[in-house]
Amino acid sequence: MALNLYAVPFSQPARAVTWLLLYKRLPFKYIPINPGSPKENGTRNPKFMEKNPGGTIPCIEETDTGFALGEAHAIMCYLSNKHGWNDVYPTDPQQRAKIDWYLHFHHRNVREASTLVVSKVRPDMQPSEEKIQLSRTLFTMSLHTIENYCLGPKCDNSPFLLGFKEPTLADFAAYVEIGQLQPGFTNVYNLNQFPNINKWLATMKNVKEHDVVHSVLADMGDLSKESPPMEVLINATKSCVKSIRERAAEMAGNSKL
């Protein structure tokens, strides 16, 4: 199976899918695409929307069958089902239901973290102050839920979300949102009041391929004081794309051995 992944490194959902693919060492072709653009290389172009009617990233395409799928969580579940990745998406109905719960909870909760970042990175897409405050409130409430019910004593102090001993789809999905806010990355939200989450973040940094996928954030740097020049964002994106493609090419070469 030849797999195309349409994505950009700065997209949080795209990072989750990219990380999963690298973590599970499934060869793929990384194809950068311009979110929201109707041009030939854009997600609102009619040709792309035939693959993903939502006109969003990430999107995968199996070139041998023509099957295409959008939405990060749908993609991660599909790939896990297809390839039998039971470590990240268990077959036990109750264990899987826990992960499905998080993947549904994520939207309009943890996902709101991205509004706090976009407002710093893309002044041309500046949300209203009301929208930023609403996102901050919803995100903070979701952090309290994770801190108190998805980590710590209620989950047997397991290193990963929901009581699991190894990372699951829930961890990949959650980290790309929460992790981007840390010092060393964008640094736009103070996480000090969440000790369980901070311990989990430290654990997730050691998960295979973390640094490759998140190099775009490291290169872009601290956004707490001012927005980065567009040149910095462009260079960070190009460098991350290059690193991802190199890792994917390495995996493809090894898979032929």
pLDDT in tens, 60-77: 999 999 999 999 999 999
Mean pLDDT calculated for residue range 231-241: 95
Query: What is the pLDDT at residue 123?
Result: 66
pLDDT confidence band for 91 (50 / 70 / 90) = very high
pLDDT per residue over 154-190, tens digit each? 999 999 999 999 999 999 999 999 999 999 999 999 9
Taking the CB of residue 146, how many other CB atoms lie within 10 A of it?
23
- Cβ–Cβ under 8 Å, residues 232 and 220: yes
What are the tokens at 87? 């470590």
Cα gap 26→23, rounded to integer Å: 8
Residue 121: predicted pLDDT: 81
Closest CA to 210 of 182, 238, 249: 182
CB 203 within 8 A of CB 197: no
Is 99's pLDDT higher than 80? yes
Query: Which of 78, 99, 114 is CA-nearest to residue 189?
Result: 114
Helix (H) or strand (E) holding 171: helix 169-178
Q: Over range 32-48, report the average pLDDT.
A: 94
Given this model, what pLDDT does residue 257 score?
A: 34
What is the pLDDT at residue 118?
87
Highest mean pLDDT among 116-120, 131-135, 208-212, 252-256: 208-212
Strands of 59-62's sheet in order across: 29-32, 3-7, 59-62, 68-70
pLDDT of residue 153: 95
